[in-house]
Amino acid sequence: MFKKFIILFIIATLASCSSSKPAVATTKKAAAIQKPRVANTKKPTNSKPVANKYPSTNNTTEVIQSTSKTVVTSNVITDYVLQYKDIAMGNMQKYGIPASIILAQGILESGAGKGDLAMEANNHFGIKCHSDWLGESVRHDDDASQECFRKYTEASESYRDHALFLVGKKRYANLFTFEKDDYKAWAKGLRAAGYATDPNYPDKLISYIERYNLHQYDCQVTGKDYKPFEKSGSTPTKTPSSTKSSNSNDPNLYEVQQGDTLYSISKKFNLLVDDLKQKNNLTDNALSIGQKLKVK
């Protein structure tokens, strides 16, 4: 009886264990909370263009005839002036040469920095070697074939040498008797002293000074009031297409045109410069537009 009771107790215990299922724990991953992106609402800064304080000119094209024929625009000339005006004013203060003259000569002689000598040798004033030059040099056709010109490591050296050249040569001594800001007297004096053979050299310098308001830099140095010149459009000069003047029917004569030099004329007619000078009883290299030369 006791054994039956134990057996029944065991069976009842087993039945109760099999009917109860263990609880299964489920874990759900919490959904990642995405933070909303904040839009950049900062407005872009508009950069204001820097105004050009230099007087504006119409962007016209012109030919500058110096040691090389250079075609530039008025904007190129304006940029040239802005680049070298401080050096020019410094030289005016130190050496007494008008800044306007320095800049005008730089424009004309270097083709506003775009001419062959300026690009190859940093020579902005067409200064030749002469016997006292000990620095580097380059060869370039000018009044004669392959003449010796001074070479500089940078343009500022050319500007300084230009001032020393005028101060140190006796033939330019008369220039320093003029007023510092009398650019017209200086322009004419440079031609008279032999700086250039072109008879129109003074007019060209004065034209650049007045068209580009270069006299303002003289006034900044002297402290005088400055009144800008009214700019007018420049009329391009027509280049003759023929080597002979239409006014001359004599094949033995040639009429000098703008930009001509003794060397360029001698090349046209297969002559030596000395022979051309001898034919025409010339004692120097100066020529005038319209002048008739014997070439045969």
Q: Output the tens digit of pLDDT for each of the chain's 296 residues.
A: 555 556 666 665 555 544 444 443 444 444 444 444 433 434 333 333 333 344 445 577 777 766 567 888 889 999 999 999 999 999 999 999 999 999 999 999 999 999 999 999 999 999 999 888 889 989 988 777 888 999 999 999 999 999 999 999 999 999 999 998 899 999 999 999 999 888 899 999 999 999 999 999 999 999 988 887 765 444 333 333 344 443 456 788 988 886 677 777 887 888 888 888 888 888 777 777 778 889 88
Other C-beta atoms lying within 10 Å of the C-beta of residue 155: 18
**pTM above the 0.85 mark?**
no
Whole-number pLDDT of residue 249: 67
Type of residue at 182: D
Whole-number pLDDT of residue 101: 97
* Contact (Cβ atoms closer than 8 angstroms) between residue 269 and residue 295: yes
3-state DSSP assignment of residue 284: coil
- How far apart are the C-alpha atoms of 103 and 95, rounded to whole Å? 14
Whole-number pLDDT of residue 10: 62
Block residue for tokens 């290299």 = 285
List all residues 6 or more positions away from 225 whose beta carbon is below 8 Å from its beta carbon. 219
Other C-beta atoms lying within 10 Å of the C-beta of residue 9: 10
DSSP state of 173: G
**Exposed, middle or buried, 143 (CB in 10 Å: 0-12/13-18/19+)?**
middle
* Contact (Cβ atoms closer than 8 angstroms) between residue 118 and residue 110: yes
Helices (H), the chain: 2-19, 74-95, 99-110, 116-121, 155-168, 183-192, 201-211, 215-222, 262-268, 273-279
- How far apart are the C-alpha atoms of 137 and 75, rounded to whole Å? 30
Whole-number pLDDT of residue 36: 42
3-state DSSP assignment of residue 88: helix
Type of residue at 226: Y
Residue 197: left if φ>0, alpha if ψ -120 to 50, beta else—which one? alpha
63 φ/ψ angles, rounded to the nearest 5 degrees: -100, 125
β 69-73/61-65 pair status = antiparallel
* Contact (Cβ atoms closer than 8 angstroms) between residue 206 and residue 184: yes
List all residues 6 or more positions away from 157 whose beta carbon is below 8 Å from its beta carbon. 122
List all residues 6 or more positions away from 151 whose beta carbon is below 8 Å from its beta carbon. 120, 121, 122, 123, 135, 136, 137, 138
Domains of the chain: 61-222 (1.10.530.10), 253-294 (3.10.350.10)
- How far apart are the C-alpha atoms of 167 and 214, rounded to whole Å? 22
